[in-house]
């Protein structure tokens, strides 16, 4: 059986304080084992990253770093089959999905930030005041330092590189802690870093768990200069407490309970196709995914019927079988969590329009963490399945009668990550865009990403924005220089 270790200072270490299994969610069988990095390994990874900050990496210009990142992107593309196999083994997602989304975006993140980071802006102010006449204030940007990158399991390569790429483009060094469920692609990336000539110590990976383990050792490490994290809001709270010690900045993309608002004047086929993707892509394990759908009353029954018909076209199965388009949940633990919401919905009196259970899977697949895509109607807004992030392939659909009511429903709750709006009335779309409290609002679309745009969450869905030039305030330190000539 293959085993996977840490990647520290340019070298792999098959060692740790304990060894743990990574399970293939398709079958429930152990896929391979890896090691939990202890405090000493985290210390060495952080020390390697610190040392690399003043090594050959520090002497590269932004253009030279960009050239290396472009090579990285090309090499990921050349080795895409290996990345694809690793990602599919860890997550169980359909190979077709990973080959169109996860792996190409993993490469594109590097080429995008290779071009973007050198455009990080500064300011220059000639002083007009009598005492400062002739003075000039201008900005110098320097790398922030050693960045801890803590990642989730739902889009492992995509979300890790979304943070590593701007960090490296700005001249930082990183220590990555992938999710314990999906360590393979981050660890494999170490090989590619060496192949393209990224100096040792610039990119490090420590595997292990969160609280009381590798994740906590890393985020509480005194020699970390900033922490970027995507995952659950509760974890964000724990990491923020760790970051408070030493006053380290954080960049967070956290949970969501995203709404889709569908008006009766929408292009119905487009709205069905869009909400279908937004609720069920990646088995509902996308933080931007829709778990609450509000439909204008005249369209409600038709919408429910048509979405349910579409859900019946989802085919769970082997991720390499082109006929299957729906994967399992990440783990049995996560399936138990999602099933607990399926039970709560029933207990609270939901109408189960479709799904609600576990599908019968053939042969070895019967041991996987499969679950039925599920639609509910008829619950009050106070229900657990409407209030809490489930992170599974399920949604509740409710009717609304006015624009104001739709806005109030969409804005209810503690999260503010994303929402989608389906209407042909562009005046209404613009009006509502100003009122819906989210980091990203999609109109007649969903998960249509332009990497130049600010990306992140409002309310309890995050702190700060990444993407384009926005994240560069986190990945660089700004120094104001005042020179009196």
Ligand X SMILES: NC(=O)C1=CN([C@@H]2O[C@H](COP(=O)(O)OP(=O)(O)OC[C@H]3O[C@@H](n4cnc5c(N)ncnc54)[C@H](O)[C@@H]3O)[C@@H](O)[C@H]2O)C=CC1
State the residues that interact with ligand X by CB under 6 A.
150-154, 177, 179-180, 209-211, 215-216, 219, 230-232, 235, 238-239, 255, 287, 334, 337, 389, 391
Helices (H), 170-206: 184-196
Query: Alpha-carbon torsion 432, 436, 438, 442, what sign?
Result: negative
Chosen from ligand LM24SWP5, ligand X, none, partner binding at 449 (C-beta under 5 to 8 Å by type)? ligand LM24SWP5
Q: At what angle do helices 80-91 and 102-116 cross, to 10 degrees?
A: 120
- Please give the structure tokens belonging to residue 429: 């779309």
Q: Which of 87, 253, 291, 466 is catalytic?
A: 253
Shorter beta-carbon distance to ligand LM24SWP5: residue 232 or 348: 232
Chosen from ligand X, ligand LM24SWP5, none, partner binding at 296 (C-beta under 5 to 8 Å by type)? none
Shorter beta-carbon distance to ligand X: residue 111 or 331: 331
What is the length of the chain? 485
- Please give the structure tokens belonging to residue 441: 């609002």
Chosen from ligand X, ligand LM24SWP5, none, partner binding at 475 (C-beta under 5 to 8 Å by type)? none
CB 58 within 8 A of CB 102: no
- What is the side-by-side strand order in the sheet with 124-126? 124-126, 135-143, 476-484
Matching residue, tokens 């290779």: 114
Shorter beta-carbon distance to ligand LM24SWP5: residue 153 or 326: 153
CB 92 within 8 A of CB 24: yes
Shorter beta-carbon distance to ligand X: residue 233 or 310: 233
Chosen from ligand LM24SWP5, ligand X, none, partner binding at 150 (C-beta under 5 to 8 Å by type)? ligand X
CB 205 within 8 A of CB 2: no
Question: Measured from the CB of residue 153, what is the shortest distance to ligand LM24SWP5 in angstroms?
Answer: 10
CB 371 within 8 A of CB 350: no
Shorter beta-carbon distance to ligand X: residue 8 or 114: 8
Shorter beta-carbon distance to ligand X: residue 310 or 440: 440
Instruction: Tell me which residue of 41, 224, 248, 43 sits closest to 146, measured CA to CA.
Output: 224
Torsion angle in degrees (nearest 10) through CA of 284, 286, 288, 290: 0
Residue whose CB is nearest to ligand X in the complex, by number: 210
Instruction: Tell me which residue of 275, 270, 273 sits closest to 260, measured CA to CA.
Output: 275
Question: Measured from the CB of residue 131, what is the shortest distance to ligand LM24SWP5 in angstroms?
Answer: 47
- φ, ψ for residue 55, nearest 5 deg: -95, -155
296 is catalytic: no
Which residues contact ligand LM24SWP5 (rule: CB under 6 A)? 154-155, 159, 162, 230, 253, 286-288, 449, 455
- Please give the structure tokens belonging to residue 319: 């991720």
Question: Measured from the CB of residue 24, what is the shortest distance to ligand X in angstroms?
Answer: 17
Chosen from ligand X, ligand LM24SWP5, none, partner binding at 179 (C-beta under 5 to 8 Å by type)? ligand X
Matching residue, tokens 């050349």: 78
Question: Measured from the CB of residue 426, what is the shortest distance to ligand LM24SWP5 in angstroms?
Answer: 25
Question: Measured from the CB of residue 230, what is the shortest distance to ligand LM24SWP5 in angstroms?
Answer: 5
Chosen from ligand X, ligand LM24SWP5, none, partner binding at 42 (C-beta under 5 to 8 Å by type)? none
Question: Measured from the CB of residue 91, what is the shortest distance to ligand LM24SWP5 in angstroms?
Answer: 12
**Which residues are identified as catalytic?**
253
């Amino acid at each position: 059986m293959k085993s996977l270790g840490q990647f520290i200072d340019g070298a792999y270490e098959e060692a740790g304080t304990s060894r743990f299994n990574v399970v293939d969610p398709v079958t429930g069988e152990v896929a391979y084992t890896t090691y939990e990095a202890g405090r000493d390994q985290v210390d060495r990874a952080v020390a390697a990253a610190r040392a690399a900050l003043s090594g050959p990496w520090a002497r590269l210009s932004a253009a030279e770093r960009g050239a290396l990142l472009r090579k990285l992107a090309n090499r990921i593309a050349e080795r895409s089959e290996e990345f694809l196999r690793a990602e599919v083994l860890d997550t169980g997602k359909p190979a077709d999905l990973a080959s169109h989304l996860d792996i190409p975006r993993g490469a594109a993140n590097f080429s995008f930030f290779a071009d973007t980071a050198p455009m990080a802006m500064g300011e220059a102010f000639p002083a007009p005041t009598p005492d400062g006449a002739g003075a000039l204030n201008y900005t110098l940007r320097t790398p922030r330092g050693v960045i801890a990158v803590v990642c989730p399991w739902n889009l492992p390569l995509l979300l890790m590189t979304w943070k590593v790429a701007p960090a490296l483009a700005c001249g930082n060094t990183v220590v990555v802690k992938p999710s314990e469920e999906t360590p393979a692609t981050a660890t494999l990336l170490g090989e590619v870093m060496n192949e393209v000539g990224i100096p040792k110590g610039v990119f490090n990976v420590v595997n292990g768990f969160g609280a009381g383990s590798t994740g906590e050792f890393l985020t509480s490490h005194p020699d970390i200069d900033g922490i970027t994290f995507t995952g659950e809001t509760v974890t964000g709270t724990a990491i923020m407490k760790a970051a408070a010690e030493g006053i380290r900045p954080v960049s967070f993309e956290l949970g969501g309970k995203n709404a889709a608002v569908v008006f009766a004047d929408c292009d119905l086929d487009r709205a069905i196709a869009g909400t279908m993707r937004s609720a069920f892509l990646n088995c509902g394990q996308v933080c931007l995914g829709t778990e609450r759908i509000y439909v204008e009353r005249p369209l409600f029954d038709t919408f429910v019927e048509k979405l349910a018909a579409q859900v019946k076209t989802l085919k769970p199965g082997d991720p390499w079988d082109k006929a299957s388009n729906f994967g399992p949940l990440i783990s049995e633990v996560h399936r138990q969590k999602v099933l607990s919401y399926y039970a709560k919905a029933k207990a609270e009196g939901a109408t189960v329009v479709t799904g609600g259970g576990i599908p019968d899977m053939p042969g070895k697949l019967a041991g996987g963490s499969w679950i039925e895509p599920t639609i509910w109607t008829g619950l009050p807004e106070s229900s657990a399945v409407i209030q809490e992030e489930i992170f599974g392939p399920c949604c509740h659909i409710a009717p609304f009668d006015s624009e104001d009511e739709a806005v109030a429903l969409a804005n209810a709750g503690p999260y503010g990550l994303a929402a989608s709006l389906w209407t042909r009335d562009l005046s209404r779309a613009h009006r509502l865009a100003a009122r819906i409290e989210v980091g990203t609002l999609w109109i007649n679309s969903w998960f249509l990403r332009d990497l130049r745009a600010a990306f992140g969450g409002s309310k309890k869905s995050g702190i700060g924005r990444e993407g384009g030039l926005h994240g560069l305030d986190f990945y660089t330190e700004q120094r104001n220089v005042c020179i009196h000539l």
